[in-house]
Amino acid sequence: MSHQKKSLIVTNEKVNNYLHDDIVFSILSKLPLKSLKRFGCVRKSWSLLFENTYFMNMVRSYFLSKDPSHRRDAFLLLGQVFSPTITLYSLSDERIENMVKLNIPNPFQEQTETCFVFDILNMGGINDIIYVRCHLRNNDLEIYTRDLLWNPTTDELKVIPRSPTKDPRSPVTVDVSVHGFGYDCVKHDYKVLQHIQFIGRSYPCTGYVSLGDITFEPFWEIYNLRSNSWRKLDVFMPTFYHTPHARVYMDGVCHWLYIDFESYLGSFDLSNETFFTTAIPSDIDCGFDEGYIWRHLMVLNESIALVTYHEKKTTLNISILGELNVKESWIKLFIFGFLPSIEFPIGVAKGKLFFKRIDKELAWIDLTTHMIEDFGAKEGDCSFNMLVCKENFLPIDRCNK
């Protein structure tokens, strides 16, 4: 019996010693990024795999192969900010084709002679119901806004009721900032998360405004589609980074980027209505390094992605979060050097990062080949938001049942 055990140990040692690196790489490269980071604790050599170019190419290839935006019913929605029209593009496996202009129905039926424009709020991920803000204008002056839910498949609109928050008397005004929109997969309900603050002569940067003996304090509130109503939240959370492109939704959680002494990902769970944070390492975020130009949150292949661009180095990085609330789980997965023509990214789909060039032309970078190709559209004076959508033929009021 002792001889058999000794023989088995020797055999196992031989198998372990001769397990080829290609086999190990192939197995590890197919792990979820969360697990891959954890496996770095098993062996010292595995902790260095993220510095191995050959292995990281395998990880990228497998990661991109699981892109859900390749599904047949997925299409690209490209919306101009403050535009009366929406541009819809259908996606094929190789190219983006069949450009179609869409006009969202007028939600201000009682105002037929006044101009109205739409602003699609990009919340990331794959959408079936879109959150849209409509601005009613008269002689270039904004006189009213309405928040809408829009099903681009059926062209149905649902007007979200205004928050019960009343504007205090002059000179105080209300500033509403939408931080998230998404589906509560536990309670089967669509929800909107927004922050309310007040603007006045006193404490204009904090959201606190005093008028005599009355102090108006900022607060959070949430909208439920099921009840078609708003309610206040008893929660303290920081607001997002100054750009609206610093917010996304994924798997029942709204995320946004905010900056304190370092950068953080703030996350609000729509089901249990709790808030938590994930710190972002300085080597991922670039911090306040001179020449740094922007940060952009996206959802890439069902993972939270932080896109950063360094203007002086003309370097663009895409980092993926492997596990929420774990700072060390960030992985700098894509690095693109010498990209001087980029002004701002607008979205990601089909293994391509779409962006606006300095000359206002729209283009994309293929994340696999690193090739840049023009999109065939020009932004001009408008800005674009891009969403990946899927077909949904249910009425909006039935989508949560």
Residue 378: pLDDT over 70? no
Nearest to 280 by CA among 237, 344, 325: 325
Among the listed ranges 18-22, 149-153, 212-216, 222-226, which one has the minimum average pLDDT value?
A: 212-216
Q: Who has greater pLDDT, 141 or 239?
A: 239
Nearest to 263 by CA among 281, 236, 242: 281
Distances (CA, A) of 215 to 56, 199, 212, 232, 238: 55, 12, 8, 17, 20
Distances (CA, A) of 38 to 56, 324, 384: 16, 13, 38
Q: What is the pLDDT of residue 40?
A: 67
Q: What is the pLDDT of residue 361?
A: 83
Residue 8: pLDDT over 50? no
Residue 244: pLDDT over 90? no
The full length of the chain comes to 401
Q: What is the pLDDT of residues 27-55, one digit of tens each?
A: 787 888 777 777 767 676 777 777 788 88
Q: What is the pLDDT of residue 228?
A: 93
Q: Does 84 sit behind a cis peptide bond, omega within 30 degrees of 0 on the bond before it?
A: no
What element of type H or E holds 29? helix 21-29
Rounded CA-CA distance 357/373 in Å is: 11
Look up the CATH number of domain 66-398. Answer: 2.120.10.80
Question: How confident is the model over 88-95, as a mean pLDDT?
Answer: 68
Q: Who has greater pLDDT, 270 or 136?
A: 270
Residue 357: pLDDT over 80? yes
Nearest to 146 by CA among 127, 165, 132, 167: 132
Q: What is the pLDDT of residues 174-186, one digit of tens each?
A: 778 889 999 998 9
Q: Who has greater pLDDT, 379 or 213?
A: 379
Q: What is the pLDDT of residues 312-352, one digit of tens each?
A: 778 889 999 999 999 989 999 998 888 878 888 888 888 88
Instruction: Specify whether the CB–CB gap between 131 and 124 falls below 8 A.
Output: no
Backbone angles phi, psi at 351, to 5 degrees: 70, 20
Q: Who has greater pLDDT, 281 or 312?
A: 281
- List the chain domain ranges: 2-64, 66-398
pLDDT-based confidence at residue 10 (cuts at 50, 70, 90): very low
Backbone angles phi, psi at 302, to 5 degrees: 60, 30
Among the listed ranges 101-115, 151-165, 187-201, 242-256, which one has the minimum average pLDDT value?
A: 101-115
* Cα dihedral 82, 353, 63, 153 in deg (nearest 10): 40
H helical segments located in 187-299: 282-285
As a whole number, the mean pLDDT across the chain is: 79
Q: What is the pLDDT of residues 64-77, one digit of tens each?
A: 888 887 777 778 88
Q: Who has greater pLDDT, 333 or 121?
A: 333
Q: Are strands 384-390 and 126-127 parallel, antiparallel or unpaired?
A: parallel
